[in-house]
Structure 1
Amino acid sequence: MLSIILIGFSLAFDALAVSISSGICNRNLKTFYVVRGSFFFGAFQFIMPVIGWFLGKTFVVYIEAFDHWIAFALLSFIGGKMLIGAISKNKEKTTGKNIDIQNIGNLFILAIATSIDALAVGLSFSMVNQDIWIPALIIGSMTFVLCFFGFEFGKKIGLAFENGSQIIGGLILIGIGIKILLEHIL
């Protein structure tokens, strides 16, 4: 259960970073938009692992012998990508126009973009025979709550927290990937 909670936190960090940035850029963001934005991020973080899990279950008979390596590679790739994005000096800074969650089109795109890694996590869960419904509910709920507070937090402070959250999330995903690999090897 601790692994699922850690995965939930790490997956929520991208959406949290977006919600904080959106709060910073839209200091007068009304409660309706905060709740709607949090719901979108949470809903996509719920549904993407479910989709990944069903895709994985379809193909699991073909990959059972090396599924732990795939789970390790996927989680390490996602975690590494988060680390590189957070550390990279050439990272493009998001402007207020790009993170305006009052526009439903922007919100939809941001919710998809921040939940793609959850698809890979769902695929990884299917490969290690982890049930998906409770983890997906935890991941989605955690994302909703964190984003809700992220919007409010963002209205009050600067951007300094954004990169730190991605680094923590990336390290957690890589650590969980290593844990899965070691459990199957040992």
Structure 2
Amino acid sequence: MTEDEVLAEFRASHALLEGHFLLSSGRHSGYYLQCARVLMNPERGGKLARALVQKLPRELRSQIRKVVSPAMGGVIIGHEVGRALDVDAIFLERPTGVFELRRGFDIAEGEKILLVEDVITTGLSSREAMKEIVALGGDVIAAAALVDRTGGEVDLGVPFHALVTINFPTYEESEVPPELAAIPAMKPGSRK
């Protein structure tokens, strides 16, 4: 899929929002990608996951033994990427604010893991998730996301592949432009 085709899927599902948003990273933006909306249709979610998997080098795809995603945002796309790769897909949760593996999920010592996210904004959540995966014995060999909001600038310490790279500006609280500050900020993500 081309970037225009991917963005068309976001627009068709009303997942590309405009306004004033407080992102889970703590940064502010005039745009928000509500991946849950684009993934609510199973056919669309599967199509996007297959397109994301095709972005991964063939040699990398053959090494992946499990997909791990951070909850909430990465759960659906992680599951669909696992389906496309024909490997198990599990997720990490933050019931107390830090990622942990629950629900009887496990990671084998040295297991080759693909971390899958919906959107990368700063990479902080991904790095936190990878730290937990490594602590559990996993080997994170790459990361993937539907959307890279960093404009290709994020460094996760492993090869990173995104279906689409977008450079919507984001701002620290003190940098929010007046026209954006005039609009009440909404926090549409899953984290409070």
Specify the TM-score bucket, using the shorter chain as the normaliser: under 0.3
TM-score (structure 1 length as normaliser): 0.23
Q: Using CA pairs under 8 Å that are at least 6 residues apart, name the structure with larger relative contact order, 1 or 2.
A: 1
Flag the structure with higher helix content: 1
Flag the structure with higher strand content: 2
TM-score (structure 2 length as normaliser): 0.23
